[in-house]
Amino acid sequence: MNDLWHVTALSLLLEGVHCRYGRHPAVHSVDLDVPAGTRVALIGTNGSGKSTLLRAVLGFQPVSGGVIEVGGRRAGTSAQWRRRRGEVAWIPQLRSTGRFPLLLGELLDSSGDGAAARGAAARLGLARLESRGVHTLSGGQAQRAWLARAVGAVAAGAGMLLADEPTAALDFAGQEEAAAVLTELPVTLVVATHDRAVADACDRVVEMAAGSLREVA
Amino acid sequence: MIAELLALVPVQRAGFGLLLGAIALPPVGVLIVGLDIYPVRFAIMHVALLGSAIGLLTGTDPLLWALALCALAGGGLAPFATTSAGLSGAMGLLMSLAIAVALLVLSISGVNANGAFELLWGSILSTRPVDLVVLAVLAVAIPALFWWRRRDLSLLLHDRELAACSGVRTGPLTMVLLVVIAVSIAGAVKLTGALLVDALTLLPALAARRIGRGLTGMVVASIGIGLVVAVAGLLLALALDQPPGPVLVLLAGVIALLAQLPPMRRT
Ligand SMILES: Nc1ncnc2c1ncn2[C@@H]1O[C@H](COP(=O)(O)OP(=O)(O)OP(=O)(O)O)[C@@H](O)[C@H]1O
Ligand SMILES: [Mg+2]
């Protein structure tokens, strides 16, 4: 399927990145250089700052210091952030969002390539659920839906995927399928995970501990 | 007897205004539910009161002042959507500030405060042609906005970050929505009075939430419920010879309540 896509994987560069919540520092002086096309597993204990770091790349978490570049470009203006969010596909950590009804089909179409996302959804066992509200899906089904959406976003041209514990709610078969889908994508991948299988499928493993990053393997 | 009443011009105007309101206002209720900004009604009413006071002070139309100030307030609130305190906190502040300034304006101008409060007690039967024009514009513009931006709106109301990831300009869209909400509430206050504004905004939206699927389904359902409430409510009020406002609210409340009931078992 890769050769059908005209995707250019993008590099990620973090230099001295700091994030804080109020006075509480959550990410402390993080450096990370990920060449285009590399797959990186981001591990670390609960509360070590993985989600904060990934959200900072997308501009959902303000950065109090340091530099973040995707494909060699920084983001500052709202137009630049919109470009960044088009270039970087995102699977958020499972949370209870969506007070408001959104249909699964609408979630898949929002990726920018509804056909690819729907194809991936069918492969992940969501074929007949497209007219269901996202809030009626089980935790694992919702996670599969976001994975399928990420496939659509990559098909639509995203060159990087940031995935925040994308297999945490999946059953055993689902974890394998998801790891396969994730690693087949022709993009740069940074995946926060507690899942051995996902970490093993990556080229590099880095560990967050109390807001700081270190190389593991 | 109802036929005779319906032949009266104020009653006809009231009916027409209610129909327009029933198209324009329930989608605004959907926005309020979706953005989770229930305090916006009170904040905007207080701003409308301030507008009304300025109108009295300057001898110009209080409704137009109310609409203009509310539009400004709605736009000014938009930047708070991304803060951790959210929109509701900012709205509480706005509400207190607006009422304080309004009271000062009234006191300085020496106008009888009752004149300004008349806006809040607005009655359907006192609907004027200019009110109808405002409502007609809203009744066209609001459903059109929902249809035109339905994809962006479903994403934004579901999850701001999902919308941002999907190329939606969340900032400008939020600002437009808040202006629309503010102006509509100001217009609705004139129609039903402040205390009853929920009859055509929030209550149909809450009822529709259980009926409609997805955003478009919900908006269509809310307008349908709004129309039923408007027509049945006005006729009922005329038949009972009671003020339409409370009858409308009671009717809308009953429908919203019925929609919350669990579906009947079929076995
Ligand atoms: N909204 C917030 N306000 C205040 N503190 C926060 C907020 N979100 C996270 N934190 C704190 O920041 C730190 C890092 O949180 P983060 O969510 O990045 O951890 P994580 O590594 O993703 O953890 P997990 O494995 O549980 O997902 C934690 O100490 C957390 O308590
Ligand atoms: Mg996390």
Q: Residue A48 in 3-state DSSP?
A: coil
Query: What does B150-199 look like in DSSP terms, one character per residue?
Result: HHHHHHHHH-HHHHHHTT--HHHHHHHHHHHHHHHHHHHHHHH-GGGGGG
Residue A59 C-alpha, separation from nearest chain B C-alpha, in angstroms = 10
Residue A73 β-bridge partners: A70
What is the rounded end-to-end Cα distance, in angstroms, of chain A? 29
Sign of the CA dihedral with B237 first, then B259, B162, and A210 last: positive
Least CB–CB distance from A102: residue in B158, B165, B171: B158
Which amino acid is present at A31? D
| pLDDT at residue B116 in the model | 64
Would an 8 Å CB–CB cutoff place A132 in contact with chain B? no
Q: Supply the residue whose CA is at minimum distance from atom 7 of ligand 1.
A: A21
Do residues A111 and A152 make contact, with C-beta atoms less than 8 angstroms apart?
yes
Round to whole Å and give the CA distance between A68 and A74. 6
Angle formed at CA B206 by CA B202 and CA B209, multiple of 5 degrees: 135
Ion ligand 2, residue ranges at CB < 5 A? A 51, 93
d(CA B59, CA B76): 26
Task: Name the more confident of B192 and B80.
Answer: B80
**What pTM does this model have?**
0.89
- Which residue, judged by its Cα, is nearest atom 2 of ligand 1? A21
What does DSSP assign to residue A92?
P
Chain A / chain B CB contacts < 8 angstroms: 69
DSSP H helical segments within chain B, as ranges?
A: 2-6, 9-35, 40-58, 62-77, 86-109, 113-120, 129-148, 150-158, 160-165, 170-192, 202-209, 214-240, 244-260
Give me B159's structure tokens.
């999850």
Instruction: Give pLDDT < 70 ranges for chain A.
Output: 1-5, 95-99
Which domain, by its residues, includes A178?
2-215
- Tell if the CB–CB gap between B214 and A58 is shorter than 8 Å: no
The alpha-carbon radius of gyration of chain B (Å, integer) is: 19
Nearest residue in chain B measured CA to CA from A135 = B158
Q: Measured between alpha carbons, how far is residue B116 from residues B53, B81, B111, B263 in Å?
A: 5, 30, 9, 45
Interface contact B27, partner A, CB < 8 A = no
Euclidean distance between CA atoms B116 and B120, whole angstroms = 8
User: Which domains does chain B show, CATH number per domain?
Assistant: 2-259 (1.10.3470.10)
Whole-number mean pLDDT of chain A?
89
**Which pLDDT belongs to residue A85?**
94
> Residues of chain B with pLDDT > 90: what percent?
33
Would the pLDDT of B36 be above 90? no
Amino acid at B22: A
Highest mean pLDDT out of A12-21, A176-185, B99-108, B255-264: A12-21
Partners of residue A17 on adjacent β-strands: A30
Check whether B151 has a pLDDT greater than 80.
yes
Give the pLDDT confidence score for residue A4 in this predicted structure. 52
Q: Are B187 and A118 in contact (CB under 8 A)?
A: no
**Residue B81 and residue B173: Cα distance in Å, rounded?**
11
Ligand nearest to the CA of A43: 1
Query: Which one of A20, A27, A30, A48 would you pick to mutate in the ligand 1 pocket, going by the greatest count of ligand atoms within 8 A of its CB?
Result: A48
Q: Which of residues 155-214 of B touch A (CB under 8 A)?
A: 155, 157-159, 161-162, 164-167, 169, 171, 209, 212-214
**pLDDT tens digit string along B113-128?**
666 666 666 677 778 8
In 3D space, the residue among B218, B83, B215, B89 whose CA is nearest the CA of residue B157 turns out to be B215
> Is residue B154 less than 8 Å (CB to CB) from chain A?
yes
Enumerate the β-bridge partners of residue B17. Answer: none
What span, in angstroms and rounded, lies between the C-alpha atoms of B266 and B263?
9
Suggest the residue from B166, B173, B175, B210 to mutate for an interface test with chain A (most A CBs closer than 10 A): B166
Place of tokens 């809030």: A135
Rounded to 5 degrees, what angle do the CA atoms A181, A186, A191 make? 60
> If you measure CA to CA, which chain B residue comes closest to A60?
B161
Quote helix, strand, coil % in chain A, to nearest 5. Answer: 35, 30, 35
Residue A96: left (phi > 0), alpha (psi -120 to 50), or beta?
A: beta
Is 70 exceeded by the pLDDT of residue B148? yes
How many domains in chain A?
1
Mean pLDDT of B29-33: 92
The β-bridge relationship of strands A39-44 and A12-21 is unpaired
Is residue B266 scored above 70 in pLDDT?
no
Distance CA A158, CA A186 (A): 10
- The CATH number linked to A187 is 3.40.50.300
